[in-house]
Amino acid sequence: MKTDTIAAIATAMTNAGIGIVRISGDEAVPIADRIFQGKGTKKLAECETHTIHYGHIHDGEEVVDEVMVLLMRGPRSYTREDTIEIDCHGGIYVTKRILETVIKYGARPAEPGEFTKRAFLNGRIDLSQAESVIDLIHAKNDFALKNSIKQLSGSVSGKVKGLRGEVLHEIAFIESALDDPEHISLDGYPQKLSVIVDKIIKEIEKLLASSDNGRILKEGISTVIVGKPNAGKSSLLNTLVGEERAIVTDIAGTTRDVLEEQINLDGIILNVTDTAGIRETDDVVEKIGVDKAKKYLKDADLIVYVVDSSTKLDENDYEIMKLLEGRQSVILRNKSDLETVTTEEEIRDAVGENCDNCRILSVSAREQIGMEEFSRTIREMFFSGDITVNDEVYITNIRHKTALQEALSGLHLVEQSIADQMPEDFYSIDLMHVYEELGSIVGEAVGDDLVNEIFSKFCMGK
């Protein structure tokens, strides 16, 4: 099928050592031949695939830049189409000038993610692998990077296709038996199917169990720092960030609005929100900040409650402790470098049953004491063992998680049909639903709207 030829800048729009303009499509090579003059006499159309050529880009008689041109013929290219990459000098103007020349001589501007979309449509990668490309680009830590590379190589799609194959085998058997009952017997089949369905359920449940860890490791732990005024919340934020991000004074109520920072804490991403000190106040502006703090606290994965251990607990502390009920929380006895007034035992007695999941640590945010134990505690709270990418398949995409949940619901319906001794065609209907939901993960039978939405999130040139 003949397709139009697209072009885009594949490198960041900033001054750099090199810039790359990418061209893909049936006319990629002829367009490049119209504007590229190599050192030799051969045209690119006459050259072998996967070769590099030195020369100049011309717009008519005008020399635009000195370049290296990479020639990759389909299907041995990223898009499985004929592809040209022009490596030019990395100035913003010169890179844009070359793109304009390419478009002038026959290409059209690529849409966001259109190169990867063509790789998907041409069967080079499936949809889950395509989504891992954007995850790879946006990776914020070592885990996210390694997991995206694994998914790009097919870790998720391989697992899903395996499960899908098992489901399809059972659908085919049921349909064949219903069409030809004289030669294919379904005697004892419900019991056999029950064992197979139970096995697939456990495998999907294992994938779903990885999704929370996968999301947190990919996107970060939503973390809210709370405490009464002047407990040291802003000092803690500055210590974690490594710079004076928040104003620190001895005046209570300095922080009146929320401050948000993303912090890499030994490979764990914390999406930290530093809130206004929680206390009863008549100050209108400060009261708005306190209300915001309580709102952010409800949606957090982790609450870091900072207690000033150099002062006694008061009614504001007790009010905050009520908000920790049932939440993953770390209570930091801050200002451990000063004389201790509030002990760990007093805090534990005051918290009582409100916070079964609380960890209590002694730190000094200003003197940076206890930060290693703080980091280690967060690891223990959210992850079992080392945070590494081994043979485990992690689900990090909410779309994949939703499809797996739908597939799991379908399998439970099959279990119910077996228990209720329903006719075998009921099994087939629900198994087909499971098959389709699993297929949506890898891009089988998905609508154009979903495909377009996914690739619209990509950057230009990818």
Domain ranges of the chain: 6-110, 132-214+397-456, 220-382
What percent of the chain lies above the pLDDT cut of 90?
36
* Residue 376 reports pLDDT greater than 90: no
Fold topology of 132-214+397-456: Four Helix Bundle (Hemerythrin (Met), subunit A) (1.20.120)
pLDDT of residue 445: 65
Distance (Å, rounded) from C-alpha 84 to C-alpha 369?
Answer: 55
Task: Over range 115-136, report the average pLDDT.
Answer: 85
Chain segment 131-181, per-residue pLDDT in tens: 878 777 766 666 666 766 777 777 788 889 999 999 999 999 999 988 888
- What type of residue sits at position 223? T
CATH top-level class of 220-382: alpha beta
Is 383:213 a contact under the CB 8 Å cutoff? yes
pLDDT at 456: 77
Please check the confidence at residue 14 and state whether its pLDDT lies above 90. no
* CATH of the domain spanning 6-110: 3.30.1360.120
Polymer length in residues for the chain:
462
Task: Choose among 164, 150, 157: nearest CA to 124.
Answer: 157
- In Å, how far from its chain's centre is CA 21? 27
pLDDT reading at 448 higher than 80: no
